[in-house]
Amino acid sequence: MEKVRVGFIGYGCRGKEMMKTLLNMCENATVAAVCDAYPDRADEAYNAVLEKTGKAPFKTTNADEIINMKDLDAVLIFAAWESHVPIAVAAMESGKYVGVEVGGAYSVDDCRRLVETYEKTGVPCMMLENCCYGVKELSVLKMVREGLFGTVVHCSGGYHHDLREEIAGGNINRHYRLRNYLSRNCENYPTHELGPIAKVLNINRGNRMVSLVSVASRSCGMEEYIKKHAEKYPDLQGLPFKQGDIVNTVITCADGATILLTLDTTLPRSYSRAFTVRGTAAAYQGLNDSLFIDGVHSEAFSNPEDLYWGNGKEYREKYTHPLWEKYGEKAKAAGHDGMDYMVLSAFFEAVLKKTQTPIDVYDAAAWMCITPLSEESIKKGGAPVAIPDFTGGKWKTPKKSPDLEFTLDW
């Protein structure tokens, strides 16, 4: 079996998860090199590969050494947010496919650099947006494609994840979120919901995002949390956090559909991505995993839960996406709701077949630019900000091939 030779950069929390899935599940990839800026983490990555495969990978703390290697097919980037674009650009320039972990950009220019580098080199760059492959997201996408929703008018979702402990622990666990939450105020993590929504709304494939407004609440969650746990975080007492607790961003698309994204990471709550799709014929609400079909379900004034609340599962059985039909069992066995296995498989298949990746550099640029543009809008009191067209007009062409496809028939 031909194998993708991978350089693996970044072995923090997310890197470890993805390494595990890669080593355990992806027979078509081999980790030839590992890198982390922290020597102890580079050692850990090295040991993980050696233990699992019996083969010692090349090891370094300098990402450039990975980029400069000659016998690598692809680079996977799980390092800090700030390093995503520089490493991705360097890797494309060195001819290596790029798979980059999710995150927002720091400037629109960074997004342009990604696109320009791809157009110059022809080397694909895929954002590894695992949530595009979620079982709920893909089955709703299938329903949308089959017309169940009628015209899609509005979508919403967000990253609703109480990260206070992770952020406050940044000086101990060396997590880049701490410095970002201290110094920035923006929709810093837009893609977990924007990715699946962009697929539903055909962004860059017949539609595009044209403008946004973004408003941040005040920032109280982190400071109160740190004060409450004073013994645990003595060095953070009284430090002001710039990141607002809740950031709402409303995006308008070329076809008039709107997208509401909510960043919600520093207040107590349960995890949710609240993936929601609203059409003229149906509604899906991720918060309670419920599908409302016009003419099938009926509106109830006080007791909607009796009628269809939580019926998403039932419909997923009817509208199983082909990818989940074929690979669902294996994906679930890989953990993290099966999404990581799916997204890695899609990436490795593109590398092996030397094809375009199902999430391409234009997707990455469009999704990542929401972060700096939201920062600008927030600074201007919520003023509307134009979203650039990174495709040079190519967004107007509807895509014909299936969504997010991969076949695994290597």
- Contact residue for a second copy among 103, 221, 312, 372 (CB under 8 A): 221
Complex with a second copy: residue 224 or 376, whichever CB lies closer: 224
CA 290 to CA 276: how far, in whole Å?
10
Name the residue nearer to a second copy (CB basis): 42 or 259: 259
Identify which of residues 33 and 198 has a Cβ nearer to a second copy in the complex.
198
Place of tokens 């946004």: 212
Residue 238 within binding range of a second copy, rule CB under 8 A: no
What is the x/- site pattern for a second copy, positions 298-327, by CB under 8 A? Answer: -xxxx-xx-xxxx-----------------
Show the tokens assigned to 205. Answer: 């494939």
- Minimum CB distance to a second copy smaller for 364 or for 378: 378
Beta carbon of residue 361, minimum distance to a second copy (angstroms, whole number): 28
Can residue 17 be called a binding residue for a second copy (CB under 8 A)?
A: no
**Of 240, 381, 393, 398, which one interacts with a second copy (CB under 8 A)?**
381
From residue 222, give the alpha-carbon distance in Å to each of 12, 92, 215, 238, 300.
22, 38, 18, 10, 39
Judge whether 26 and 74 are in contact, CB under 8 Å.
Answer: no
Q: Does 61 bind a second copy (CB under 8 A)?
A: no
**339 or 365: CB nearest a second copy:** 339
- Of positions 281, 326, 328, 379, contacts a second copy by CB under 8 A: 281
**Amino acid (one-letter) located at 154:** H
H or E element: which one contains 14? Answer: helix 13-25
| Amino acid identity at 267 | L
- The two beta strands, 97-100 and 4-9, are unpaired
Q: Which is nearer to a second copy, 106 or 133 (CB)?
A: 133
Torsion angle defined by CA atoms of residues 349, 355, 357 and 362, in that order, rounded to the nearest 10 degrees = 170
CA distance 62 to 64: 5
Among 234, 238, 240, 268, binds a second copy (CB under 8 A): 268
Report which secondary-structure segment, H or E, holds 87.
Answer: helix 84-93
* 182 contributes a contact to a second copy by CB under 8 A: no
Task: Report if residue 215 touches a second copy, rule: CB under 8 A.
Answer: yes
Q: Which of 59, 278, 316, 321 binds a second copy (CB under 8 A)?
A: 278
Q: Which among 31-39, 185-193, 218-226, 348-356 is the span making contact with a second copy, rule CB under 8 A?
A: 218-226
Q: Which part of the chain contacts a second copy (CB under 8 A), choosing from 10-18, 24-32, 232-240, 297-305?
A: 297-305
* Binder among 28, 260, 376, 408 for a second copy (CB under 8 A): 260
Q: What is the DSSP string of 98-161?
A: EEE-----S-HHHHHHHHHHHHHH---EEE--GGGG-HHHHHHHHHHHTTTT-SEEEEEEEEE-
The smaller minimum CB distance to a second copy, of residues 125 and 334, is found at 334
DSSP letters spanning 344-396: HHHHHHHHHHT---SS-HHHHHHHHTHHHHHHHHHHTTS--EEPP-TTTTGGG
* Rounded-to-integer distance, Cα 231 and Cα 217, Å: 28
Selected binder of a second copy within 28, 47, 61, 288 (CB under 8 A): 288
Joined together, the tokens standing for residue 53 give: 């495969």
Cα–Cα dist 180/169, whole Å = 13
Give the shortest CB-314-to-a second copy separation in angstroms.
15
**What track of x and - describes contact with a second copy for positions 82 through 121 (by CB under 8 A)?**
----------------------------------------
Instruction: Enter the tokens of residue 334.
Output: 């890989």
Binding site for a second copy (CB under 8 A): 150-151, 153-154, 161-162, 211, 213, 215-218, 220-221, 224-225, 244-246, 248, 250, 252, 255-258, 260, 262, 264, 267-272, 278-283, 285, 287-288, 292-294, 297, 299-302, 304-305, 307-310, 337, 380-384
